[in-house]
Amino acid sequence: MDPLLKCDRIDGDAEQYLRSVGNMFVEFGELTQDSGNISYGVEVNGARYFVKTAGRPGDSRGVLEHPARVALLRNAVRLSSVCSHSALPKLYRVIESPTGPLLVYEWIDGELLGVARERRNDPSSAFQRFRSLPVPKILRCLDEIFDLHEQIGRAGWVAVDFYDGCLIYDFASGRLGVVDLDMYNEGPLVNRTGRMFGSTRFMSPEEFEIGALIDERSNVFVMGRTALVFLSDGTLNDAAFRGPRALFNVAARAASRERSLRFDSIGAFCKTWRMARDASGEPDA
């Protein structure tokens, strides 16, 4: 068994340990992870792993202080314990260290769909190349995203900070991975901050309003916006929507600014989406 998969605790520096057990082929540092986390791609005995850490305690360049980063990693471990889905990289091991846990995940090949704003309209970006895929391929990925969030909702969790930066797509295999769900919350929560973490292209109105309830109806909005971002131009302009009209109607209802007009749960949204898709006769990818 690889050392990473049988280790429970280290006493020293995370990076030094990872270099000692395998080949560190990539590092995702402060420039690529604005939270302040530091993650690594490590190859051990021919197997590749993604290892996520809370970064360095003294480093305050991220938007979160080190104790908050540690807490979110532990939150991600709790979510992994109640949700297992093909789109989620497997969490193989949690290694404790003096600076917090090392989360050893399955490595996912592919490209991050979230890109910097100035590159969002670049046809060569992963974001635009994904949006240019045939509709059936995008629908298959949306099925994965919706099914995952239906499972998360059934487990009593609420999505926070979901956007295209959580999606890795392998253009060769067609596999979609959903990552970085550290901020998901166990149960509904009240917005205590005003503008919450996330991308405005995906966020519900409640995520900007102090005192607003963030719950499954909020997540329904996010799922509707996800469909509109990838199958349309991000607006409620039905002429821009590339899929069947029935699916546009479901996405538009889900993305209603008025909470009462949305589906009351992710499950209800997914059921209606599937019925509309089946009725449209849209082929699978």
Tokens standing for residue 133: 């895929």
Q: Give the Cα separation of 161 and 228 in Å (integer).
A: 17
- pLDDT, residue 191, reads 97
Tokens 């600076």 found at: 99
- pLDDT, residue 2, reads 81
- pLDDT, residue 61, reads 65
Q: Domains for the chain: give ranges and CATH numbers.
A: 3-106 (3.30.200.20), 111-280 (1.10.510.10)
Q: How many residues does the chain have?
A: 285
Q: What is the pLDDT of residues 56-65, one digit of tens each?
A: 887 766 678 8
Q: What is the pLDDT of residues 110-143, one digit of tens each?
A: 999 999 889 999 999 999 999 999 999 999 999 9
Residue 44 corresponds to which amino acid? Answer: V
The continuous run of DSSP H or E covering 152 comes out as: helix 135-154
Which of 194, 165, 170 has its CA nearest to residue 182?
165
Which of 177, 152, 156, 270 has its CA nearest to residue 220?
270
Q: How far is residue 142 from each of residues 52, 107, 137, 201, 224, measured CA to CA in Å?
A: 26, 21, 9, 16, 10
Cα-to-chain-centroid distance, residue 76: 11
